[in-house]
Amino acid sequence: HLRLMSDSGRAERLRYEQVLVADIDAGYSAAESKYKIFVSNSNTGSHQGESWRDAYNGGYIRYTIPLDGQDSMFLRVRYWGNEGLSREFDILVDEVVFASESLVGKWNVDAFQEVDYNIPSALFKGKSKINLKFRAKAGNYAGGLFYVWLYALQAQEPDALGSGREDRREMDVLISDGMLRLRLPSEDRDLNNRLRIFGMNGSLMYSGTVQEEVQVFDLRRLPRQQWYVLLCSNEKGSRAQKLLIP
């Protein structure tokens, strides 16, 4: 067993923050116009009090998102968890597909679901803006999209955050044979906690929801003998620590 390393050494003292790059309320024209929306074969509507947008049969939804030197980014999309019809689509940055999705039968629950997608840095690094596109496959729908977020992971020295803001609560984490056991601080256990694990280059490697007081995550698909950043976030904020998978 290996416990997360303590804060010893400058590199290990780096703090990581999840920084919002873009937030798009899909289907709400005032919010979408900020990101220069352009669509083809697209419809909008509302469900459970939230607006949505989709596209059909090769149609697409495209947003133009300004950047400011981000080194790492991931996309988060809110979907409805019990969609019908045919819903297979691709997600692209500047016409390059980086993810494909199929929603029908994925959850089969009447609740919203949020999915994270890593965006390869080669698709955005050095650019001042990107075009993010959701493109329906032939005979299929793309979406519906209820909300779209773009986040960056940013490292900072503790002093840059100010001693008064530094969160010293610890997550109880053990890892063995690629299985991660996570226990959150008691004050966080009734919140909506999300776990993400990033490579040291900022790539999103794993994403999950923390639903139990003690929860186990299967990380055996991740490369061994490497350091990662474990980030847990909720309504109060986010905390991160470095993690070695032996």
Are residue 150 and residue 34 in the same domain, yes or no? yes
In a domain, 162, yes or no: no
Mean confidence (pLDDT) of the chain: 85
What is the arithmetic mean of pLDDT over 139-150?
97
The total of structural domains in the chain comes to: 2
Are residue 186 and residue 100 in the same domain, yes or no? no
Are residue 119 and residue 198 in the same domain, yes or no? no
In a domain, 38, yes or no: yes
Q: How many CB atoms lie within 10 A of CB 99?
A: 16
With 70 as the cut, is the pLDDT of residue 7 above it? no
Are residue 37 and residue 114 in the same domain, yes or no? yes
**pLDDT value for 155:** 61
Per-residue pLDDT band at 187 (split at 50, 70, 90): confident
Q: How many CB atoms lie within 10 A of CB 27?
A: 24
Express each pLDDT in 54-90 by its tens digit. Answer: 999 999 999 999 999 888 889 999 999 999 999 999 9
What is the arithmetic mean of pLDDT over 98-108?
95
In a domain, 159, yes or no: no
With 50 as the cut, is the pLDDT of residue 160 above it? no
In a domain, 10, yes or no: no
Name the pairing type of β-strands 2-3 and 237-245. unpaired
- Token pair for residue 194? 């999300």
With 80 as the cut, is the pLDDT of residue 244 above it? yes
Domain of 66 in residue numbering reads as: 18-154
User: Domain boundary residue among 154, 187, 210?
Assistant: 154
What is the arithmetic mean of pLDDT over 15-34?
88
Are residue 116 and residue 214 in the same domain, yes or no? no
Are residue 45 and residue 135 in the same domain, yes or no? yes
What is the arithmetic mean of pLDDT over 201-219?
85
Are residue 28 and residue 142 in the same domain, yes or no? yes
Are residue 47 and residue 125 in the same domain, yes or no? yes
With 50 as the cut, is the pLDDT of residue 208 above it? yes
In a domain, 161, yes or no: no
Residue 11's contacts (CB-CB under 8 Å, 6 or more residues apart) are none
In a domain, 204, yes or no: yes
Query: Which of 158-161's residues contact partners 24+ apart within 8 Å by CB, and which partners?
Result: 158/13, 158/14, 158/15, 161/15
Per-residue pLDDT band at 16 (split at 50, 70, 90): low
Residue 69's contacts (CB-CB under 8 Å, 6 or more residues apart) are none
Are residue 132 and residue 31 in the same domain, yes or no? yes
- Helix intervals (H) in the chain: 29-33, 158-161
Residue 144 sits in a domain whose CATH number is 2.60.120.260
**pLDDT value for 158:** 46
In a domain, 2, yes or no: no
With 50 as the cut, is the pLDDT of residue 111 above it? yes
In a domain, 180, yes or no: yes
